[in-house]
Amino acid sequence: MKPVTFYHPIKKTIFKSYLLLFCLLCISSVIGCHKPVQKETATGFYFNTVISVTVYEPDSSDTSLNASALTKKCMDMAASYEQLFSRTVEGSDIWNINHSNGAPVTVADDTITLLSTALSYAELSDGLVDPTIGTLSTLWNFTGEMKTVPSDTDIEEALSHVDYHSVIIDGNQVTLTDSDACIDLGFIAKGYIADQMKKYLVSEGVTSAVINLGGNILTIGSKPDGSDYTIGVQKPFEETGTTLLTLSVSDKSVVSSGNYERYFYANDTLYHHILSTKDGYPVNSDLSQVTIISNSSVDGDALSTLCFILGYEDGLSLIESLPDTEAIFVTTTGDILKTYH
């Protein structure tokens, strides 16, 4: 099949990889008669996207580290997790499992925890989200400049190796009973990492911070003046920074998934990166975007993808069954349907 050109409205696509939201942090440098608010922001390029962590100077009585040291530690954590969870980094835990030819692989505690969480969502969804989707996502390969629609034969072959039941966990050992299966934790890994960064910062006495892992937003507490953070939700298929709507949140995770993140057109058909484990093609659920507001970023990450796959009615039913979880659904016709007010 002839390659087709990759289309995307964002000029710098590396900054758009998984970029779902942008954070509008309008915090005054002086609050009343108090001393100026001190903040520190660190940025880096991990997980194929730009990430940032902003920490507002914690009370010195609560921590032995300053904000600069705290944000640097978060970047170190990002580097460490990339060495564990990346499918493409040679020698990572996931890379080692995928290249083990079915032999057991001993991995880190964090890898076990994340993989177990991914498997629990696979079980919940009856495989609609599946950590062994790697053979399929690799086949479509949405990260390059030129794209092709895979053949039905290749899709069928890739699908034959997508089955979360092939992942066996025994203590800290992971075995793929299908040696051709391939684990890809892209639908959940950044949420887990954001939660771990938050856990670390809170343990160091931080009461106000924003973690942005390529658009996965996780806030700690509220702004230093006590007001909510304002988070802008990206409008699908528009330039980065074009706001669909804004949310006021405090101590919450905000994560979106949509068909506008990575896609291409072939023969006037849109092909996007959220793939069906049933037929191997991009999901057609009549949705352009799902945004999840929750306490946990790992849950928000998984649920945003799952609800996009389920579509509005089934996705809404799932959200309504979960505590402390809200959702915003955007249809392909532009309608905004939400449980969050």
In 3-state terms the chain splits into helix, strand, coil percentages (rounded to 5) of: 30, 25, 45
Residue in the structure block whose two tokens are 């191997």 = 280
Which token pair is 209? 């911070």
The predicted pLDDT at position 38 comes to 79
Work out the average pLDDT over 219-248: 93
The answer to whether residue 8 scores a pLDDT higher than 90 is: no
Residue in the structure block whose two tokens are 């954070």 = 23
For the ranges 48-52, 165-169, 172-176, the lowest mean pLDDT is seen at 48-52
Residue 105 bridge partners (DSSP): 174
The predicted pLDDT at position 17 comes to 35
The predicted pLDDT at position 143 comes to 74
Work out the average pLDDT over 59-82: 83
Residue 189 φ then ψ, to 5°: -65, -45
Work out the average pLDDT over 167-173: 98
Read off the pLDDT of residues 258-274 as tens digits, 9 standing for 90 and up: 998 888 898 899 999 99
CA nearest to 287, candidates 335, 242, 246? 335
Predicted TM-score (pTM) of this structure: 0.88
Read off the pLDDT of residues 280-291 as tens digits, 9 standing for 90 and up: 999 999 999 999
The distance from CA 39 to its chain's CA centroid, rounded to whole angstroms, is 25
Decide which of 47 and 318 is more confident: 318
The answer to whether residue 328 scores a pLDDT higher than 80 is: yes
The predicted pLDDT at position 282 comes to 97
Domains belonging to the chain, first-starting first, are: 84-133+143-176 (1.10.3980.10)
| Helix, strand, or coil (residue 88) | coil
Work out the average pLDDT over 81-87: 97
The predicted pLDDT at position 59 comes to 54
